[in-house]
Amino acid sequence: MGIGKHKLKKETFVQSILVLMMSQVMIKLLGLAYKLYLTNKEGFGDTGNAIYNSGYQIYALLLAISSIGVPNAISKIVSERLAKRR
């Protein structure tokens, strides 16, 4: 009974990873399509691309800073639950 439960957990973990990977690929493709659209839009030009890129760099920096503690918090929660055998 315990072996089947462990296998089920492993399969759902792998499925979750695959879903996350596919969602990241879709996000990157949509971002590429949007970027290509903006680059080729008439009237947007080099100035528009420069403004977009500088704003995106600020956004990426703030996103990285805000998500620094998330992996640590998740690992702490998981380790506490494993210690309590939940």
Q: Which pLDDT value is given to residue 26?
A: 94
Q: What is the pLDDT of residue 23?
A: 92
* Sign of torsion over alpha carbons 62, 68, 74, 80: negative
Domain boundaries, the chain: 1-40, 45-86
Tokens representing 30 are: 């949509």
What is the mean pLDDT of the segment spanning 10-25? Answer: 86
pLDDT higher than threshold 60 for residue 2: no
pTM for the model: 0.50
Strand, coil or helix: what is 85? coil
Q: Is the pLDDT of residue 9 over 80?
A: no
Query: Per residue in 41-71, pLDDT tens?
Result: 888 888 888 888 899 899 999 988 888 887 7
